[in-house]
Amino acid sequence: MAERSQSHIALMLGNVNDGKPVNQRRSWKRVWNGLSRFQKNLIFTLIAAFIFTIFFLLPQHNQQNAHSDDGRASHHRINNQNVVQVAKQVSAFEANQYENDEKSRDDDQPAKNREPSERENRPLAKPNNINDMNKSFRNNFVMPEADDDAENEMIDRPNVSGGVKETAKDFKGPTNDRQRATVEAFKHAWRGYKEFAWGHDNLKPISEGYHDWFGLGLTIVDSLDTMYMMDLQDEFDEARNWVDQHLKFDVNRDVNLFEVTIRVLGGLLSSYHLSGDKMFLEKATDLGNRLLPCFDTPSGIPYSDINLETMKAHAPKWSPDSSTSEVTTLQLEFRDLSYSVGNPIYEQVVSVINRKVHELNKKEGLVPIFINAHTGQFREYSTISLGARGDSYYEYLLKQWIQFGKKNDDFLIEDYKTAIDGVLNLLVKRTPKEKHLYIGELINSKDFKPKMDHLVCFMPGTLILGFKNGMPESHLNLARDLLETCYQTYMYQPTHLAPEITYFNLNGESETDMYVKVNDAHNLLRPEFVESLYYFYALTGNKTYQDMGWEVFQAFEKYTKVKQGYTSIGNVKNVLNTRPRDMMESFWLGETLKYFYLLFSDDRNEVDLEKFVFNTEAHPLPIREIQ
């Protein structure tokens, strides 16, 4: 490393020339003219900071003290203009920091085989400049009121001293016919996407077009780690180069904080951890900085949407409330970003959410599906469900605890155990004839409804993961029975594909234990049941779960495969009239086929669940041992 030259400033005060004082004004002028441009800029910066402190920060502090009774909301608020400015400064600094390495990187070499650059051979630094830029953000960011120990834990725990050096993980590719069939399914879908929707969010395989949701190439980013695991090196390199050259976040478009976090931020971080390619981390950091203003709310509960260019966040247009699952399913990704780049700010903002939701009143640990970012309170009398808008809250309680080696976040795992007890007490019922166990909903937080979304079928996998990490046997029993019911939601239908929603016979209203309403008969290529099968296989080694998955995979092949990819269908109840919907969501490649591939592996530890935790979009992030 080249030595830096040092400049010295000599201040001449009170010198005497021939017994006469030197003209003070002219001495200062000579001193000023002798300063370098950097030194002058530094002095201007210090003066501006002093003026800002006097005229902005101190009055704000006094005003908060004067109105403490009616200013509780402002106590938690981050100044949005300050957040945006800090985030832009951090992004600009990091772009400059990485610029030289970007120029020297050889994009023509495959990411897994190329020689690491000089930067990649050293740990990711935590430049003091980033700390300085974020200092004003942290000073204005006030944690929600809590006991001193809890507050200190949230603030002090991300004592990150630098980024993590990642080395590429090797995957050997498919080793049996079922895995090879899954890879062929992926390649078939990828060819259609590449030809007709390249760079766009989703493929419309029947009309040979595309659908853009956020304009961020969701299918590419969501699929990166799937291709890496399948050892599809050419496809991975092609996608990697698109991300490097074309994925830009300064787009004048509103995006959903939750969806972009789990798909794009999670996909970039996972690809970084698996491949060791720092380009993915740089992109993830830029995105994380642009999402920070979402957390500038009176309560610390984030807004649901943000414009990535203007960095202005707001509540959803359809409601003043955010979905509970959305605001509580950001933590794995933001915490991982903090530890990957050595900057605690990302973990701090999501820790506020954890603490805030922990302190709210619940119904035996169960949460309503709507929460308000301004008040920080649940919507009164809203539905309690483990399906849409509630599901991944419970998933992330457990997985955050696992993410840091089960050594911290005790209140999260206690909330998880309390919630599962609440599920068993309030939501679990069995059908009258065949005794299928299912998880229903509470309408208005009190009236039971025998309705279960397909989304709930993530729960068996989460429950058995919890059991393997020390949760009680009652969780395992619930997981087994619920997995069987989810399997039957597929087998009950002539297509052997599950509907979006299944109803269960509660009071003799149906001749069968399960029934499906016309408007709920669609299948969107969702991954949740395959996800749970994967966890059961990976954690038990029982190949029965592979056979169950193979039946479902063959049904997808038969009823959803079209010439240019795979499509969601509108009717699982009629093999002659499936009503194709002309849409291939990014999660088909990012989640469903990935879980099929891992489920069919001869090596059930192909992704070691002692070392990785999957986010809710099936992107594996490392488990960290926090001292």
The DSSP code sequence of 185-214 is HHHHHHHHHHHH-TTSSEEETTTTEEE-SS
Question: How long is the chain?
Answer: 627
Is residue 343 within 8 A of residue 387, CB to CB? The reply is no
3 state DSSP class of 301: coil
Tokens 């001293």 appear where?
161
Contacts of 466 (CB under 8 A, 6+ apart): 398, 416, 420, 475
Which residue type sits at 594?
K
Q: Which of 557, 622, 617 is nearest to 589 (CA)?
A: 617
**Phi, then psi, of 563 in degrees rounded to 5:** -60, -40
Is the Cα dihedral 354, 358, 364, 370 positive or negative? negative
Is residue 568 within 8 A of residue 524, CB to CB? The reply is yes
In whole angstroms, what is the distance from residue 609 CA to residue 171 CA?
Answer: 15
Contacts of 592 (CB under 8 A, 6+ apart): 525, 526, 527, 530, 556
3 state DSSP class of 599: helix
Is residue 188 within 8 A of residue 565, CB to CB? The reply is yes
Enzyme catalytic residues: 259, 391, 500, 528
Is residue 303 within 8 A of residue 313, CB to CB? The reply is yes
Q: Which of 129, 120, 127, 191 is nearest to 161 (CA)?
A: 127
Is the Cα dihedral 77, 80, 83, 86 positive or negative? negative
In whole angstroms, what is the distance from residue 104 CA to residue 110 CA?
Answer: 15
Contacts of 218 (CB under 8 A, 6+ apart): 201, 202, 263, 264, 586
In whole angstroms, what is the distance from residue 229 CA to residue 592 CA?
Answer: 14
3 state DSSP class of 284: helix
Is residue 479 within 8 A of residue 542, CB to CB? The reply is no
Is residue 504 within 8 A of residue 429, CB to CB? The reply is yes
Q: Which of 362, 540, 358, 363 is nearest to 467 (CA)?
A: 540
Is residue 301 within 8 A of residue 322, CB to CB? The reply is yes
What six digits make up the tokens of 533?
Answer: 């099968």
Rg of the chain in Å (alpha carbons): 27
Q: How far is CA 432 from CA 436, 454, 491, 504, 505, in A?
A: 8, 21, 19, 9, 7
3 state DSSP class of 504: strand
In whole angstroms, what is the distance from residue 390 CA to residue 324 CA?
Answer: 6
Q: Which of 491, 460, 490 is nearest to 478 (CA)?
A: 460
What is the side-by-side strand order in the sheet with 451-453? 451-453, 501-504, 514-515
